[in-house]
Amino acid sequence: MANGYMGKILNVDLSSGTLSDEVIADDILRDYVGGYGVAARLLYERMPAGAAPLGPENLLAVFTGPLTGSPSIEGNRFVVCCKSPLTGGWGDANCGGTFGPAMKAAGYDGVIFSGISSKPVYLLLDDGAASLHDASDLWGQDANEAEEALQKEYGGDGRVSKAQVALIGQAGENLSYMACVMNDYGRAAGRSGVGAVMGSKKVKAIVARGEQELPMLDADAAAATRRRYIPTGKELADRGKGGYDTFVDYGTIGITGESSYSGDGPIKNWGGRANVDFKEGRDVYEQDTLIETYQDRKYGCWRCTMSCGGHMSVKEGPLAGTKHHKVEYETAAAFGLMNMMPSFPHLLKLNELCNRFGFDTISAGVTTSFAVECFEEGLITAEDTGGLELAWGDADSLITLLEMMAHREGIGDILADGVKVAAEKIGKGSEQYAMHVGGSEVAMHDPKFTPGLAPTYKLDATPGRHTQGGELVAPPDVDEPAGYDAHKYDTHADWHKWLVDAVHVVNSSGVCLFAWSSYPHTFIPDFMKDVAGHTGTFDEMLKAGERIGQIRHAFNLREGINPVEISIPGRIIGDPAQTEGNMRGITIDIDMQTEKFCKVMGWDGATAVPSRERLESLGGLEPVIAELYG
């Protein structure tokens, strides 16, 4: 058994109700690290091409990484993987909290669900054993209600590691393509529609509890490495590098006010102009005001050194008493900036509802702004919405609309599967207001402000996502290449590839991306050495990162998805360029970025098929080579 891993995963055939343990070969763990790396290798081999995303042949994988549950800085992540109903291609979603370490303590590195259950069930992982249980009494409950019920049943027995739960709300049960998997009453594996796949299989929850210790090469050395690295995040922040201070003092909500006018955050369904439209956003979402007015206490994921989360409440006004997890930036931008909504109490309520229903807040917020613009343009009317009047800044109508989406009521049924599907159903030219890439609603960072995001949004196997590459995910101790200019696109490709490969390593190792953005990047190989016995440098680990990226990409190619042919809405890349605001005059040359990135990845510029020589040089990609080249 390899160090850093519990030594087994669980296969759950929901159609037959059978469960079986499986040992993953050491060479796969070495080549693909863990997390969505190992999941991508296994699902590529085990899932047939053309599987229906909500059908029995789709596989749903919940995996940890080798540093999950270890002494590593922020080693608390798990991933959920499947074929995405939003995009029809590879899907994965990453989450923190406590569930990932609890799964390891329960004795499992991961779970793969196949088939469809005949009734609602939940899976119990209990100190090395596993069992399926009837969840009929939980079906219909929101994520917070069901999590509380399961923790009461399994978490109060005095164990050191109490039960932790990953589960879906009503959005997942109702097969909304925007549904996510929740844990910790407000942490979300948010993207790719993974909650809809879990709901299609009639799995309400996974409960994990146990006391099993993670096998490590040298636990004492790992603990010493942790003590050595903890001061370095603050030291970098003191030199003006990294996000440590922002995460500690504010969390991600802290950048919302600035983003509303700088050009980073999109306004008015990507049609607004930074520092022209919604100027009040700078004051409404000012970081110190939000923390002083609404935050009651901080919250951190399992053994986090920064605790960027928090618990907030509304103290006065019509929504007094509303309390929930602190709103994240992506949520604040998707509902607040995109809808030009000037009420933070309403934003906190929308955040609570999204987490209870189990909605990806990015997709849900983008979809509401799409609906508002369609209403403004007369493409949908009060007759279509059941009398609900939609308007920019109308916070109360957004709450009602979100509830309709969760329960698939009226117009909510049309909107519940995201903007691509909604535009297809509405027609009338509404597709021009559907801000998605390849079916996935676009994250809340503007490529006109951060140009390296444009090829990420277009070319990653999970399109439209801000956490897979580009300057946003650069570590604080690694400088950009000499002569790099964000708006000179012929200088991007090598640097962009380095960042993309690096993020695959981070995500697959089980480490939080915020640690990567705050600490010296060397903490990854140092902990991998102490925990798992890997002796390579980070640059050597990048080969595994590219290998992971190539197999995710190959999954999509097999499904007929060529990212070169995917388009990005003109509003997002400045085509035509804005004439006012902080992003005026900027148009992203996405064609040049695509050409350059394909070249450094060894992809054909037209078909995006990797060369055989490139795949062979990486090793461990024999299944891909066999399918592409025979």
**Per-residue tokens: 106:** 């329960």
Q: What digits encode the pLDDT tens for the residues 260-293?
A: 999 999 999 999 999 999 999 999 999 999 999 9
Amino acid at 537: T
The pLDDT of residue 156: 64
Q: What digits encode the pLDDT tens for the residues 359-386?
A: 999 999 999 999 999 999 999 999 999 9
Closest CA to 396 of 324, 337, 341: 341
Closest CA to 128 of 107, 101, 111: 107
Q: How many CA atoms lie within 13 A of 41 on its CB side?
A: 24
Give the mean pLDDT of 290-303. Answer: 96
**Per-residue tokens: 443:** 């994250």
**Per-residue tokens: 10:** 């669980």
Q: What digits encode the pLDDT tens for the residues 413-454?
A: 999 999 999 999 999 999 999 999 999 999 999 999 999 999
**Per-residue tokens: 244:** 């440590």
Amino acid at 624: V
574 three-class SS: coil
Q: Which residues contact 141 (CB under 8 A, 6 or more apart)?
A: 149, 169
Give the mean pLDDT of 550-571. Answer: 98
> What radius of gyration do the chain's Cα atoms show?
23
Closest CA to 208 of 98, 82, 65: 98
The pLDDT of residue 484: 87
Residues shown for the chain = 630
Token pair 């012929």 is at which residue? Answer: 490
Q: What digits encode the pLDDT tens for the residues 458-514?
A: 999 999 999 998 888 899 999 988 888 888 877 779 999 999 999 999 999 999 999
CA angle in degrees (0–180, nearest 5) for 536-541-545 = 165
Contact criterion met (CB below 8 Å) for 241 and 156:
no
The pLDDT of residue 531: 98
The pLDDT of residue 482: 86
Adjacent-strand bridge partners of 80: 62, 93
The pLDDT of residue 487: 85
pTM flag (> 0.85): yes
Rounded distance, CA 219 to CA 221, Å?
A: 5
Q: What digits encode the pLDDT tens for the residues 343-355?
A: 999 999 999 999 9
Give the mean pLDDT of 165-178. Answer: 98
Q: What are the strands of the beta sheet with 309-313, ordered from one edge? A: 295-299, 309-313, 323-325
Answer whether residue 215 shows pLDDT above 70.
yes
Q: What digits encode the pLDDT tens for the residues 52-84?
A: 999 999 999 999 999 999 999 999 999 999 999
- Sign of the alpha-carbon torsion through 299, 138, 348, 372: positive
The pLDDT of residue 159: 45
Answer whether residue 610 shows pLDDT above 80.
yes
